[in-house]
Amino acid sequence: MSEPSAQGKNDREELRENHAIAARLREYADLLKQQGDDGFRRRAYERAADVIEGLDRSLADILENEGREGLIKLRGIGRGIAGAIAEMIATGHWSQLERLQGELVPEALFQTLPGIGPELAHRLVEEGEVESLEELEHALHFGELDVTGIGPRRKRMLEATLADRLGTRVGRRAGGRAPKPPVEMLLDVDKEYRKRANSGRLRKIAPKRFNPSGEAWLPIMHARRDDWHFTVLYSNTARAHELDKTDDWVVIYYQKDGHPEGQCTVVTETRGPLAGQRVVRGREDETPESGAAA
């Protein structure tokens, strides 16, 4: 009996990677269910996992030869899930899954990029407020990254690296700028989250960062408004802990069908005419006139 060819072994290994990615999509769907998602988003990830398990071609091969657009052409794979697949293939991490598990340590992820050491990785998280390669790529493309130590030359280098890792093209604008939910909607989600968190009606996770005791203290909520999907948690950044704002700063991750994930932070304003009101950081000028009390 002849030995299997090297190519045959490689093909089987790459298809095993497909199944591993599908398994992580199912794990994400299971966590959504456990944490109270209404089922709409969960079913999308389950359908994508079914499609991936039935492929006779590796996702890595599709990404390498056709970029992320090749993934999006697959049935049931939108831009959000395509971005998740690209991140898993490039880094072995998936930030969205690790966030729900409480395992997210974005500083470690950013240190896999050339020229990014511990200090710069920390600034990307704290100053840039990005947690995944997808978010970093988006911020670079649309001029939204303002971080000490990331000048024009380094930005171009990072764009090229991310384009290679995530299967995109330098300077691409595929899908356009990710849409943002109305401020009124974000403030309503923030209000619901804080009310449910304060009453103890949300599942709590044990974040890996800044939690040496391993306590499950961080409430997590999934919600939907129209065609927007939200994952909501109190801020678990070094700055929030330093200023004792872990029960005030609320981080909202939002995604509209077919678009990448975005995020914002809702805080209680401490100065000026909006003092005492809840505002979306960076969008204070869009706060409704009636305001949202803290």
What CATH code is carried by the domain that includes residue 151?
A: 1.10.150
Flag whether 291 is in a domain.
Answer: no
Same structural domain, 188 and 279: yes
Same structural domain, 130 and 65: no
Q: How many CB atoms lie within 10 A of CB 198?
A: 11
Nearest to 262 by CA among 176, 148, 197, 155: 176
Geometric angle at alpha carbon 239, from 106 and 116, rounded to 5°:
35
- pLDDT score recorded for residue 38: 82
Question: Strands 228-234 and 278-280, how do they pair?
Answer: unpaired
Flag whether 162 is in a domain.
Answer: yes
The structure tokens listed for 78 are: 């939108």
| More confident of the two residues 37 and 232 | 232
Same structural domain, 41 and 112: no
Burial class (CB in 10 A: 0-12, 13-18, 19+), 94: buried
Same structural domain, 135 and 206: no
Flag whether 197 is in a domain.
Answer: yes
pTM as predicted: 0.82
Count: domains in the chain: 3
DSSP 3-state of 143: coil
Domain end marker among 43, 68, 98: 98
Domain end marker among 79, 98, 117: 98
- pLDDT score recorded for residue 138: 81
| More confident of the two residues 172 and 124 | 124
What average pLDDT does range 130-143 have in this prediction?
84
Query: pLDDT of 8-56, one tens digit each?
Result: 556 677 789 999 999 999 999 999 999 998 888 899 999 999 999 999 9
Same structural domain, 244 and 149: no
- pLDDT score recorded for residue 65: 93
End-to-end Cα spacing for the chain: 74
Q: Give the C-alpha separation, 292 to 261, whole Å.
A: 25
- pLDDT score recorded for residue 165: 80
Same structural domain, 53 and 109: no
Residue that has been written with the tokens 């089922």 in this structure: 39
Same structural domain, 140 and 234: no
Flag whether 200 is in a domain.
Answer: yes
Query: Domain containing 24 — which CATH number?
Result: 1.10.150.110
pLDDT exceeds cutoff 80 at 259 = no
Nearest to 138 by CA among 153, 126, 155: 155
Domain end marker among 149, 177, 205: 177
Same structural domain, 74 and 153: no
Query: pLDDT of 210-229, one tens digit each?
Result: 999 999 999 999 999 998 99
Flag whether 293 is in a domain.
Answer: no
Domain with 84, as residue range(s), is 1-98
pLDDT exceeds cutoff 80 at 172 = no
Contact between residue 149 and residue 120 where contact means Cβ atoms under 8 Å apart:
yes
pLDDT exceeds cutoff 50 at 258 = yes
Same structural domain, 91 and 62: yes
Flag whether 292 is in a domain.
Answer: no
Q: Give the C-alpha separation, 52 to 59, whole Å.
A: 8
Flag whether 294 is in a domain.
Answer: no
Q: Which residues pair with 255 in a beta bridge?
A: 229
Flag whether 32 is in a domain.
Answer: yes
